[in-house]
Structure 1
Amino acid sequence: MSEKTIIRFDNVTKHYGDDEPVLKNVSFEIEKGKFYTLLGPSGCGKTTILRLIAGFIAPTEGTIYFNGKEINHVPANERQVNTVFQDYALFPHLNVYENIAFGLRIKKVKTDEMNRRIEEALKFVNLKGYEQREISEMSGGQRQRVAIARAIVNDPEVILLDEPLSALDLKLRTEMQYELRELQQRLGKTFIFVTHDQEEALAMSDEIFVMNEGIIQQSGTPIDIYDEPINRFVADFIGESNIVSGTMIKDYLVEFAGKTFECVDGGFHLNEKVDVVIRPEDLELTTVDKGKLTVTVDTQLFRGVHYELSTYDKDGNEWLVHSTKKAQVGEQVGLDFGPEEIHIMRLNETEEEFDARLEAYGVWNNEQ
């Protein structure tokens, strides 16, 4: 375990009764001072991980460590973590000051020290002067800031955030993404954020754990996961993707859509069946004679900064294209792309095998 590691899960499984496990033999490490996001669809196990860290539930199997010490059965109130809940869990009959002071009063913190901590917490969340404001008089964004202030006032080492932006409208949500990220950097605390919104995860995180069906499918930086998804689920869940079946002719040469193309991925077997990913923004709309693929435009939508075209090739493969150029529905057009825009995914590859292959064949990629 690294000195930077603050939380570690070793082969953690969680059952509720006789049901299928919500978490399946999950292992990972969390480092101090970083912003982590647990990303995945509803029911994938991300909130269960948060509850296990907080101490609200205990693992069925496996071990959880905090600063190198096992905490499987350490009570929630003895852990150096605080949680910001989806509904903020504020007391409506208490004002801002009393909501933030609640935990400090339970700990019997002296009044002078309590006032100092609350004033400091309110400064951090840009709510200085709101001490006597009633919760009912505050906007959704302000209530969220109160919930965050209540979480940080106890000076925890880790702050857990369970989909705290989901109730906000789009504009406020975007503003709060910036505020949360800035707050985490100013505090220097470890944030673990739960969301099903991939744009939110990409915008805010140092590292993302993509989850599905109780398993961490892939972990890494937002750029790593977006550019090098490990499988169809990750490629489809993180952003929009064109995914077609292909065959590796040899390393750095792949066949799909009836043609053979150079690519930048290696470490495959001869004639191995693979999945091929090309992002919509990496496809350039051009004329048929200049394109590597010929497609027919099925629909076209204007998205403000680009046109979104749904197209299909002669084999029936659908290709989503984001382009600044317009086309006519029913028109045949060309799609151009380079080797670096083609990402190859091995079927049923584990994250360990994936990382090893990228490391072994990364020199060729970097030199291109």
Structure 2
Amino acid sequence: MTNTIIEFKNVTKQYDNDSPVLDHVSFEIERGKFYTLLGPSGCGKTTILRLIAGFTEASVGDIYFDGKKMNDVPANKRQVNTVFQDYALFPHLNVFENVAFGLRIKKLKESVIKQKVQEALTFVNLAGYENREIREMSGGQRQRVAIARAIVNEPEVILLDEPLSALDLKLRTEMQYELRELQRRLGITFIFVTHDQEEALAMSDEIFVLNRGKIQQSGTPIDIYDEPINRFVADFIGESNIVEGRMIEDYLVEFVGGRFECVDQGLNPNEAVEIVIRPEDLEITTKERGKLKVKVDSQLFRGVHYEISCYDEDQNEWLVHSTKKANVGDEIGLYFDPEAIHVMRFGESEADFDRRLEAYDHGDAHEQ
């Protein structure tokens, strides 16, 4: 049996004469993993969820579930359940009846319903809450009720449409850990939608980064963060310093007037490139030791580090995350290791980008 449970083949979704919400998207989802669809508002991530759930139909292309085409399969016949942003719980029903709702529609025996509901509530740490009214539940508890209602039907895939967005920061962080642990214990596929980069990095086995109706890049959180494929991904995932440069040869790149060793290869000699260095990979040091010489423009204390904004002689801004303090107006040096430099191709056409993205999805461009 193949490990692929969901597959999109050249799927486009377009409403009337508007631009496509999804534009010829292809990808595969494997069993038992935690996937995150990440991107800004309007990028197409919720549309993917709705297509999987059967709430909307593809304009072009095919969607497969367990190798079987599911374009025309109605939502209630699909082995998926959705946890919505507002949880969509019934306020007039208690916790037990909310979780039991789908089982009653299936007309299961009362003894079976009771057993399954109790098992689901125990799984989400809500045993003993069966008779509690929904209005008496906290935000985190309501989310657990919604998840219990989803898992009680024993789906093969659970879809989660920004279910943490209404929670405060502390509870949201706690629920990230709970959701991840729940997915591991269940061993089923979770597909999670968010626009929060930190949330995606913390929870996912694999992330799909979307923009303008296309998957810009897919990979593990480490791959996405350390090896962004283009400026959008580098900018959207975390914070980045991005400057223009030139690839001299393999393992040697030029930017801001200097030549620096790097670990990238496979680009053309003298090719125009963009350089990415993450703020936490820059070390504050003396001007003599620094590979870059900059002047401190501002400094903010962020609790675990200082966020320091600097400018070099060419007025390129450099953002630094450091436990060291630097005073506004100081002239300092910035040091970085070759591994801190990530090189991206610069100035390619849309067609070139699409071809390279296709190659990347097949694993051919990972070493760029």
The residue aligned with 2:88 is 89
Distance, in Å, in 2 between the alignment partners of 1:65 and 1:334 is 54
Distance, in Å, in 2 between the alignment partners of 1:266 and 1:186 is 41
The residue aligned with 1:234 is 233
Where do 5+ consecutive residues of structure 1 fail to align? 362-368
Q: 346, 351, 366: which one pairs with 1:358?
A: 366
- State which drifts further: 77-86 or 302-311: 302-311
Letter in 2 for 1:7: I
Please report how far the alpha carbon of residue 249 of structure 1 lies from its aligned counterpart in structure 2 after TM superposition: 1.1
Question: Secondary structure of the residue that 2:72 maps to in structure 1?
Answer: coil
Please report how far the alpha carbon of residue 61 of structure 1 lies from its aligned counterpart in structure 2 after TM superposition: 0.2
Letter in 2 for 1:199: E
Distance, in Å, in 2 between the alignment partners of 1:177 and 1:340 is 30
Distance, in Å, in 1 between the alignment partners of 2:116 and 2:325 is 57
Distance, in Å, in 2 between the alignment partners of 1:94 and 1:321 is 52
The residue aligned with 1:288 is 287
Distance, in Å, in 2 between the alignment partners of 1:176 and 1:343 is 33
Please report how far the alpha carbon of residue 356 of structure 1 lies from its aligned counterpart in structure 2 after TM superposition: 1.9
Letter in 2 for 1:84: V
Q: Check if 1:209 corresponds to 2:208.
A: yes
Q: Check if 1:158 corresponds to 2:157.
A: yes
The residue aligned with 1:104 is 103
- State which drifts further: 246-255 or 275-284: 246-255
Question: Secondary structure of the residue that 2:366 maps to in structure 1?
Answer: helix
Distance, in Å, in 2 between the alignment partners of 1:227 and 1:312 is 24
Letter in 1 for 2:68: K
Distance, in Å, in 2 between the alignment partners of 1:115 and 1:353 is 51
The residue aligned with 1:115 is 114
Distance, in Å, in 2 between the alignment partners of 1:17 and 1:92 is 36
Please report how far the alpha carbon of residue 93 of structure 1 lies from its aligned counterpart in structure 2 after TM superposition: 0.6
Question: Secondary structure of the residue that 1:244 maps to in structure 2?
Answer: strand
Letter in 2 for 1:356: D
Letter in 2 for 1:242: N
Q: 1:245-279 CA deviation, whole Å, 9 max, x = no partner?
A: 11111121111111111111011112111110000
Question: Secondary structure of the residue that 1:249 maps to in structure 2?
Answer: strand
Q: 1:321-354 CA deviation, whole Å, 9 max, x = no partner?
A: 0111111101100000111100001134423444
Q: 1:68-119 CA deviation, whole Å, 9 max, x = no partner?
A: 0000010000000000000000000110011111111111011111111000
Letter in 2 for 1:266: Q
State the 4+ residue runs in structure 1 displaced beyond 4 angstroms.
none
Please report how far the alpha carbon of residue 62 of structure 1 lies from its aligned counterpart in structure 2 after TM superposition: 0.2
Distance, in Å, in 2 between the alignment partners of 1:219 and 1:46 is 13
Where do 5+ consecutive residues of structure 2 fail to align? none
Distance, in Å, in 1 between the alignment partners of 2:150 and 2:34 is 16
Q: Check if 1:8 corresponds to 2:32.
A: no
Please, what TM-score do these two structures have when normalized by structure 1? 0.96
Aligned residues: 359
The residue aligned with 2:61 is 62
Distance, in Å, in 1 between the alignment partners of 2:156 and 2:26 is 21
C-alpha contact (below 8 Å) 1:58/1:72 kept by paired residues: yes
Question: Secondary structure of the residue that 1:289 maps to in structure 2?
Answer: coil
Distance, in Å, in 1 between the alignment partners of 2:114 and 2:225 is 45
What are the residue-to-residue correspondences of 1:216-231 with 2, within 5 Å?
216-231=215-230
C-alpha contact (below 8 Å) 1:198/1:237 kept by paired residues: yes
Distance, in Å, in 1 between the alignment partners of 2:127 and 2:205 is 29
Distance, in Å, in 1 between the alignment partners of 2:98 and 2:219 is 36
Q: 1:147-176 CA deviation, whole Å, 9 max, x = no partner?
A: 000000000000000000000000000000
The residue aligned with 2:123 is 124
User: CA distance change for structure 1 residues 353 and 252 in 2, over 3 Å: closer, same or farther?
Assistant: farther
Distance, in Å, in 2 between the alignment partners of 1:192 and 1:358 is 24
The residue aligned with 2:48 is 49
The residue aligned with 2:242 is 243
Distance, in Å, in 1 between the alignment partners of 2:314 and 2:43 is 35
Q: 1:112-150 CA deviation, whole Å, 9 max, x = no partner?
A: 111110000001110000000000000000000000000
The residue aligned with 1:191 is 190
Q: Check if 1:22 corresponds to 2:21.
A: yes
Please, what TM-score do these two structures have when normalized by structure 2? 0.96
C-alpha contact (below 8 Å) 1:246/1:255 kept by paired residues: yes
Q: 1:16-37 CA deviation, whole Å, 9 max, x = no partner?
A: 1111100000000000000000
User: CA distance change for structure 1 residues 353 and 263 in 2, over 3 Å: closer, same or farther?
Assistant: farther
Q: Check if 1:181 corresponds to 2:157.
A: no
C-alpha contact (below 8 Å) 1:35/1:193 kept by paired residues: yes
Distance, in Å, in 2 between the alignment partners of 1:325 and 1:35 is 37
- Identical pairs, percent: 75
Q: What value does the CA root-mean-square deviation take over the aligned residues? A: 1.0
Q: 1:271-312 CA deviation, whole Å, 9 max, x = no partner?
A: 111110000000000000000000000001111111110001
Question: Secondary structure of the residue that 1:136 maps to in structure 2?
Answer: helix
Letter in 2 for 1:80: Q
The residue aligned with 1:72 is 71
Question: Secondary structure of the residue that 1:356 maps to in structure 2?
Answer: coil
Question: Secondary structure of the residue that 2:364 maps to in structure 1?
Answer: helix
Distance, in Å, in 1 between the alignment partners of 2:160 and 2:20 is 23
Letter in 2 for 1:287: T
User: CA distance change for structure 1 residues 133 and 192 in 2, over 3 Å: closer, same or farther?
Assistant: same
Please report how far the alpha carbon of residue 190 of structure 1 lies from its aligned counterpart in structure 2 after TM superposition: 0.2
